[in-house]
Amino acid sequence: MVWFVVIGEGRPARAVLDVIIAAPNATAEALVIADAERNPLAECAGRQALAMVDTRDLLGECRRLAGRSEGWLVSANSTIIIPREVLELFEGRSLNLHPGLLPEYAGLHTHQWAIRNGEREFGVTVHRVEPQIDAGAIVGQVRFPISPEDTGLSLFSRCLTAGRELFSRIIAQITRGEALTDVPQDLARRRLYRHRDALDGRIDWNESAVRITDFIRAGNYEPFASPSYVARLDRMGGFDVEVLRATREGVSTACPGAVVDVSAAGPLITCGDGATIRIVKARHGREAMSTERWHEYISHVPGGQLLGRSETQA
């Protein structure tokens, strides 16, 4: 029987737990989570009689288990840096399920960045854990196309499905006693995405219509809260408009950010490449933006010219 310690949060950690629990000759010994007393994963751990360990007690728990037969540490959606002392206890038997293609998409919110960057393909990676973030050798990776309709949430969900399948295969290899194949990463191609770099939701109207619509859909996590940003318009007249979906529609000679039309479908706005987009889904607070609300909002926009990110940063 191979035992595992799982460290992580949310749906990815739950998916990893489910795979281990369902696998023959595998057992989950502990779930390491933040705020163990109030974490939603605590209920799952309780049903499986798992030890629930706060992330602050990770080293102590791993030392307690280290005297047993060889076990594995698995990380999924964890934001903590696993201490070197913990990694040494597992002697190379530490894996991370990463929702992104490595080495190009290391770090956080990489699925959103992939949409923002115009990628047509994405995927998930299982790799060895090293002190450097998402830099260990790759033991498994799957790829799939990004749909033009994918949002931040839908692409994250697809990563979760693909990651569960990939991790199931790797767990099966481990429990059968098979050696995992390590493929070192080409770290010259590595790009690390940080949480603080993905918090600004202001639209840059000097960008092309394609990049703006991709920026909008990447931040769309409805009906849930985005882990990073939601695309926003300038705050005017007490309005804080979150933009959830936009479509490319026509061209204009107006300046970037100019509102050239407001219809029942939403406002039409000029982008940096002369193309226009129509905002077809947006909200103020919990209320959808109606035609009347749009007209009221636009009445507060000086000259019908939205500023967006680049101008407000100047």
| Amino acid in position 231 | A
DSSP at 257: T
Bridge partners, residue 261, by sequence: 268
**Predicted TM-score (pTM) of this structure:** 0.93
The residues assigned a catalytic role are: 98
Tokens of 185: 């990463």
Instruction: To the nearest 10°, report the CA torsion of 146, 149, 154, 159.
Output: -10
Query: What secondary structure, in 3-state letters, does 14-28 show?
Result: HHHHHHHHHCCCEEE
For residue 222, give the nearest of 239, 242, 203 by alpha carbon. Answer: 242
Positions of the chain with pLDDT under 50? 313-314
Q: How many residues does the chain have?
A: 314
Domain holding 246: CATH number? Answer: 3.10.25.10
| DSSP track, 154-195 | HHHHHHHHHHHHHHHHHHHHHHTTPPPPPB---GGG--EE-G
Same-domain pairing of 111 and 242: no
Which tens digit of pLDDT belongs to each residue from 25-76?
Answer: 998 888 887 776 666 676 666 666 677 788 888 888 888 887 777 899 999 9
Same-domain pairing of 230 and 291: yes
Q: What pLDDT score was predicted for residue 61?
A: 85
Domain holding 53: CATH number? Answer: 3.40.50.170
Query: E strand or H helix at 5, and its extent?
Result: strand 2-8
Query: CA 116, 77, 109: angle at the middle one, nearest 5?
Result: 10
Domain boundary residue, one of 174, 193, 212: 193
Q: What pLDDT score was predicted for residue 36?
A: 65
First-to-final CA distance of the chain:
61
Same-domain pairing of 275 and 294: yes
Q: Residue 219 is part of which domain span?
A: 200-313
Domain boundary residue, one of 193, 218, 252: 193
Same-domain pairing of 214 and 157: no
Q: What pLDDT score was predicted for residue 314?
A: 41
Same-domain pairing of 7 and 116: yes
Domain boundary residue, one of 131, 166, 193: 193
Same-domain pairing of 88 and 223: no
Same-domain pairing of 16 and 74: yes
Same-domain pairing of 96 and 41: yes
Domains in the chain, number: 2
Same-domain pairing of 109 and 140: yes
Same-domain pairing of 126 and 171: yes
Same-domain pairing of 124 and 139: yes
Same-domain pairing of 135 and 30: yes
